[in-house]
Chain A
Amino acid sequence: MNNPQLDKNGNLKHLLSIEGLPRAILTQILDTAESFTGVSEREVKKVPLLRGKTVCNIFFENSTRTRTTFELAAKRLSADVVSLNVGTSSQSKGETVLDTVDNLIAMHADMFVVRHSQSGAAHFIARHVGPHIHVINAGDGRHSHPTQGLLDVFTIRRYKPDMHNLRVAIVGDVLHSRVARSEIHALTTLGVPEVRVIAPKTLLPTDVEKLGVQVYHDMRAGLKDVDVVMMLRLQNERMSGALLPSAQEYFKCYGLTQEKLALAKPDAIVMHPGPMNRGVEIDSSVADGNQSVILPQVTYGIAVRMAVMSILAGNTEAA
């Protein structure tokens, strides 16, 4: 199968989704990220790998955290960084996606970090650009958010190094979540034996079992003896319409409270990709509790994005 993310030698050229990436590449990214965690703790939080390179963050959809961590990651690699909120600029004047990209290529951009509300947007741009340009998907529609999936498994590996002996539960709106899809692919590729999804039927894709997960509709049963609880953000706009009765009702059934968390293993960690809806999918006492690793996830996100960018930039074909 032709994988658009890999070059003819099987090296990572673009990062578009975790699906289809071999375990060796995921492991290389995580190991490299491990080396980068130390860089952010030094006096000079920078290495010279991407000196002279230009990284363009093009966000057709808003995201403060993802854009900021990509920006910091690129800066800590010594790249020059331009961040565009295209939603508020040219697109509103009618420019096409490829025109925006072509203009940035004309300014000698070397790497694009792309977020778009349409699934497949990053693939579309990757097919369009020349062989020396790299594309990173920073979230496309419901499809994929590979660096979030990677930083989540990186966080898990830091707290629970034996990935082959873990029970992980992903809780919430799996149906609309690109994060959940990326997490599931990353966990199964890295050999986590038991991945559970916990959600009401209306928030699960059909045939979700085919991704290799066990399905639970009862949160109490699903959380029993898990090592990791990964909460998903409930997007407020889903609340209206037929999918959910109300935020209060959702919190009662699928919100993570101390009492429900007690069903997991005593040393279980709690994760959330942010931004959190306190009191909707997670109780404040859990989000701020001592089992929460939500802020370390953000810190590790920078190291993981530095790893991805430096591996891609290193796999540039000679012009």
Chain B
Amino acid sequence: MQLPDAEQLLAKLADNIRPLLGENTALVGIHSGGAWLAERLQARLGDHIPLGTLDISFYRDDFSRIGLHPQTRPSHISFDVEGRHIILVDDVLYTGRTIRGAMNELFDYGRPAKITLAVLVDRGGREMPVEAQIVGARLALQPGENLELARDDAGQFHLKLHEAA
């Protein structure tokens, strides 16, 4: 399968987010791919936009089945979430469970006025009623396939498709 160019999708996301920016907007990326994207989006859209990252390890709904992720990273949100318009950024939207966890975590920082979801790729396969408002590309992937965002040494993004073992 020919995968789309991640850098082009990033440019498209930035173009689609730009009209939504207001005084109250902040970018929040979900570890790790979404955090990389949010950082690059901030560079394109303006340094004045507050940037945060979320690691949703403490909010996963499969904790009781698979335990704590062996590598958690601290979430960093240094601005006040209360009343903000949060643009939540992730690389791949699949079941919707990650987004549910991310929204739960966000609310433990405060009550946002609005959350907009922006994803590089929507691969289908939803198990939760979650939709992205801003989508770079839509791909129809099989459940056994695993799509992930990679970052090379030069900081350039690439999409990679793996067959599940």
Classify the secondary structure of B's interface with A: loop
Partner of B59, one of A37, A38, A47: A47
Chain A positions within 8 Å of B67 at CB level: 11, 311, 313-316
Stretch from A26-34, A207-215, A288-296 that touches the partner: A26-34
Q: Is the CB of A49 within 8 A of B68?
A: yes
Interface string of B101-141 (1 = CB under 8 A from A): 00011011110000000000000000000000000000000
- Minimum Cβ distance to chain B for residue A168 (Å): 25
With contacts A35-B73, A48-B59 taken as known, whether A310 is within 8 angstroms of B68 at the C-beta atoms is yes
Q: Is the CB of A42 within 8 A of B108?
A: yes
Give Cα A31–Cα B63 distance, bound, in whole angstroms: 18
Partner of A48, one of B55, B58, B66, B82: B58
Chain B, 47-87, CB within 8 A of any chain A CB: 55, 57-59, 63-68, 70-76, 81-82
With contacts A48-B59, A314-B63, A315-B67 taken as known, whether A32 is within 8 angstroms of B108 at the C-beta atoms is no
Q: Is the CB of A38 within 8 A of B108?
A: no
Q: Is the CB of B110 within 8 A of A43?
A: yes
Partner of A35, one of B58, B64, B66, B109: B58
Chain A positions within 8 Å of B64 at CB level: 316
Chain A positions within 8 Å of B68 at CB level: 32, 49, 310-311, 314
With contacts A43-B108, A43-B109 taken as known, whether A35 is within 8 angstroms of B63 at the C-beta atoms is no
Give Cα A34–Cα B72 distance, bound, in whole angstroms: 9
Partner of A49, one of B58, B66, B110: B58
Q: Is the CB of A35 within 8 A of B74?
A: yes
Chain A positions within 8 Å of B107 at CB level: 44
Chain A positions within 8 Å of B109 at CB level: 42-44
Q: Is the CB of B108 within 8 A of A37?
A: no
Classify the secondary structure of A's interface with B: helix
Chain A, 40-66, CB within 8 A of any chain B CB: 42-44, 46-49
Give Cα A285–Cα B111 distance, bound, in whole angstroms: 44
- Minimum Cβ distance to chain A for residue B30 (Å): 14
Give Cα A315–Cα B110 distance, bound, in whole angstroms: 31
Q: Is the CB of B58 within 8 A of A31?
A: no
Name which residue of chain B comes closest to A24, CB basis. B70
Give Cα A46–Cα B107 distance, bound, in whole angstroms: 11
Q: Is the CB of A28 within 8 A of B70?
A: yes
Give Cα A311–Cα B110 distance, bound, in whole angstroms: 27
- Minimum Cβ distance to chain B for residue A29 (Å): 10
Name which residue of chain A comes closest to B71, CB basis. A31
Give Cα A305–Cα B70 distance, bound, in whole angstroms: 16
> Which of A37, A49, A311, A318 has the most chain B CB within a 10 Å cutoff?
A49
Chain B positions within 8 Å of A263 at CB level: none
> Which of B59, B105, B108 has the most chain A CB within a 10 Å cutoff?
B108
Q: Does A105 contact B (CB under 8 A)?
A: no
Partner of A37, one of B55, B65, B74, B104: B74
Give Cα A39–Cα B82 distance, bound, in whole angstroms: 17
Give Cα A39–Cα B76 distance, bound, in whole angstroms: 10
Give Cα A315–Cα B70 distance, bound, in whole angstroms: 11
Give Cα A39–Cα B75 distance, bound, in whole angstroms: 9
- Minimum Cβ distance to chain B for residue A218 (Å): 42
Chain B positions within 8 Å of A32 at CB level: 68, 72
Q: Is the CB of B58 within 8 A of A34?
A: no
Q: Is the CB of A39 within 8 A of B63?
A: no
The 5 A-B residue pairs whose C-beta atoms are closest, nearest first, are A314-B67, A44-B108, A47-B58, A314-B68, A35-B72
